[in-house]
């Protein structure tokens, strides 16, 4: 059963440009040059019940704008969408009672109060009866291991603990659709992992439909079978994550630090050099040759430090464009 249907959804924003300096500011007071940015352009998609879909893309690609339209925060410029059979931007109460949105950078908790006061507030807002409220609260605080923190002021909680409370506050009414906008942003690796485990568990238990936006590859990799990649407001990929993974993971980045200067030419036999200053170098090498080439380099060069990293997600997206032949002008801002 399709829970989310989107057809040719677009959103444009009007904004103003101001050049550097006071003189330009004075000029802008009288006349401003307005520009239009197409944040989301003609996107179409269908999401089934219980699916967990990842929205991946660089900053400013239109992920959050899409989520804001699907949750009724923004009116689209054109196009149509239904979520749970409702048009989101009509903002009907029946619709609001059945979905939830979590924004990693915005809080719904009262800063000066213990988290349980904010949770109780949401209980009242969503008209949840005492019994189911207590059951859900017990279950969620147990899984997320924050039972002992309920009586502590939100401002005294760590970022990870606060995000867990944000999640509980958003799930207190058992929503059927959950929009998660970068829920792990700014968290340490352990907290990120815990939140991901929780989301996986919650999706399996409740069969809630989840859309997750992130530019952390691990979030999407861990949680979503289906990935939608957005760039410059357009969907450039919609499908199985494994295929994207193959593309993203064909190469690895090696960062090298030397005790003595190593000339650029000496390194060029091992891979593509992206940065080099004599004592430091960053290279891209083929994943399959990693072991062999690393060994050869360690034997040949005076290496002080050696780290291997995945290709950044933005680079992966770039590779994807090239492979699929999707036209795009530049990824300079990525």
Partner 1 sequence: MSISLSEIRKHVRMFFIFAKNSLVGYMEYKANFYSGLIMETVFLLSKLIYIIFVYQLGIEINGISPDQMMIFTGTYTIMIAIYTGLFMDNFYRFAGHIRNGTLDLYMTKPLSLQFMISLRHVNFAFPIPNLIAGITMIVLAWQRLGIDPSFIHLAGYIGVILSSTIVTYSVLLLPQILAFWTVKSGSIFDILDKCWDLNNMPMYIYPKWLRRIGLYVVPILFITNMPSVYLIDRLDLFLGIWIFAAPVISLLVVRLFWKLAVKHYESASS
Of 110 and 321, CB closest to partner 1: 110
Nearest approach, Cβ of 102 to partner 1 (angstroms)?
Answer: 9
Q: Is residue 232 within 8 Å of 11, Cβ to Cβ?
A: no
Q: Looking up tokens 């400013």, which residue turns up? A: 60
Binding-residue pattern over the window 100 to 129 for partner 1, x denoting contact by CB under 8 A: xx-x-xxxx-x-xx---x--xx--xxxx--
Question: Binder to partner 1 among 161, 182, 219, 314 (CB under 8 A)?
Answer: 182
Binding-residue pattern over the window 24 to 43 for partner 1, x denoting contact by CB under 8 A: --------------------
C-alpha 238/C-alpha 19 separation (Å) is 38
Q: Is residue 311 within 8 Å of 274, Cβ to Cβ?
A: no
Q: Is residue 301 within 8 Å of 266, Cβ to Cβ?
A: yes
Tokens found for residue 83: 């979520």
Considering the rule CB under 8 A, would residue 171 count as an interface residue with partner 1? no
Q: Is residue 53 within 8 Å of 47, Cβ to Cβ?
A: yes
Of 85 and 278, CB closest to partner 1: 85
Of 70 and 281, CB closest to partner 1: 70
Nearest approach, Cβ of 323 to partner 1 (angstroms)?
Answer: 29
Question: Binder to partner 1 among 23, 93, 131, 327 (CB under 8 A)?
Answer: 93
Nearest approach, Cβ of 1 to partner 1 (angstroms)?
Answer: 23
Considering the rule CB under 8 A, would residue 51 count as an interface residue with partner 1? no
Considering the rule CB under 8 A, would residue 73 count as an interface residue with partner 1? yes
DSSP 8-state secondary structure symbol assigned to residue 311 = P
Three-state DSSP class for residue 6: strand
C-alpha 224/C-alpha 192 separation (Å) is 15
Question: Binder to partner 1 among 27, 38, 96, 306 (CB under 8 A)?
Answer: 96
Strands (E), 162-219: 177-181, 209-214
CA-nearest of 231, 257, 104, 254 to 166 is 104
Q: Point out which residues bind partner 1 (CB under 8 A).
A: 13, 64, 68, 71-75, 91, 93, 96-97, 99-101, 103, 105-108, 110, 112-113, 117, 120-121, 124-127, 153, 181-182
């Amino acid at each position: 059963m399709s829970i989310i249907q989107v057809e040719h959804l677009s959103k444009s924003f009007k904004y103003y440009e101001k050049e550097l300096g006071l003189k330009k500011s004075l000029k802008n007071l009288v006349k401003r040059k307005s520009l239009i940015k197409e944040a989301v352009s003609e996107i179409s998609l269908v999401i089934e019940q219980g699916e967990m879909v990842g929205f991946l893309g660089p900053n400013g690609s239109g992920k959050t704008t899409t989520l804001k339209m699907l949750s009724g925060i923004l009116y689209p410029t054109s196009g149509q969408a239904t979520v749970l059979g409702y048009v989101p931007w009509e903002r009907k109460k029946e619709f609001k009672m059945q979905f939830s949105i979590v924004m990693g950078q915005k809080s719904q908790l009262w800063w000066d109060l213990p988290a349980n006061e904010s949770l109780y507030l949401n209980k009242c807002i969503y008209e949840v009866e005492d019994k189911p409220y207590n059951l859900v609260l017990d279950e969620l605080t147990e899984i997320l291991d924050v039972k002992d923190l309920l009586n502590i002021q939100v401002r005294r909680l760590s970022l990870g603990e606060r995000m867990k409370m944000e999640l509980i506050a958003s799930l207190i009414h058992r929503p059927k659709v959950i929009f998660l906008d970068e829920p792990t942003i700014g968290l340490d690796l352990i907290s990120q992992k815990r939140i991901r485990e929780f989301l996986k568990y919650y999706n399996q238990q409740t069969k809630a439909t989840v859309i997750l936006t992130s530019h952390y590859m691990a979030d999407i990799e861990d949680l979503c079978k289906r990935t939608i990649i957005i760039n410059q407001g357009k969907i450039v990929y919609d499908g199985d994550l494994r295929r994207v993974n193959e593309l993203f993971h064909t190469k690895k980045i090696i960062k090298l630090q030397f005790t003595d200067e190593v000339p650029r030419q000496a390194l060029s036999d091992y891979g593509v050099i992206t940065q080099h200053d004599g004592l430091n170098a960053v290279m891209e090498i083929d994943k399959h040759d990693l072991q062999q080439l690393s060994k050869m380099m360690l034997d040949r060069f005076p290496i002080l430090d050696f780290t291997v990293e995945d290709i950044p997600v933005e680079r992966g997206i770039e590779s994807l464009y090239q492979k699929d032949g999707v036209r795009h002008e530049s990824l300079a801002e990525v």
